[in-house]
Amino acid sequence: MGNSKLGRFILFGALLGAAAAMIDRSTRNTIVDNSKKASNAISYYAKNQDELKQKLVDQKDKFQAAYEQLSGDVSYIKEQVEELKTLTPQVKELVTDTKDTFADSKEEYETIIKESPATS
pLDDT digits (tens, 9 = 90+) for 1-16: 456 789 899 999 999 9
Domain for residue 53, yes or no? no
54-81 burial string, b = 16+ CB within 10 Å, else e?
Answer: eeeeeeeeeeeeeeeeeeeeeeeeeeee
Contacts of 52 (CB under 8 A, 6+ apart): 45
Asked if pLDDT for residue 118 goes beyond 60, the answer is no
Domain for residue 21, yes or no? yes
End-to-end CA distance of the chain: 108
Domain for residue 103, yes or no? no
Domain for residue 32, yes or no? yes
Domain for residue 69, yes or no? no
| Banded model confidence at residue 30, pLDDT cuts 50, 70, 90 | very high
Tens digit of pLDDT for each residue in 57-110? 999 999 999 999 999 999 999 998 888 888 788 888 888 888 888 777 777 777
Domain for residue 31, yes or no? yes
Domain for residue 38, yes or no? yes
Q: Look up the domain containing 27 and give its range.
A: 1-47
Q: How many domains does the chain divide into?
A: 1
Domain for residue 83, yes or no? no
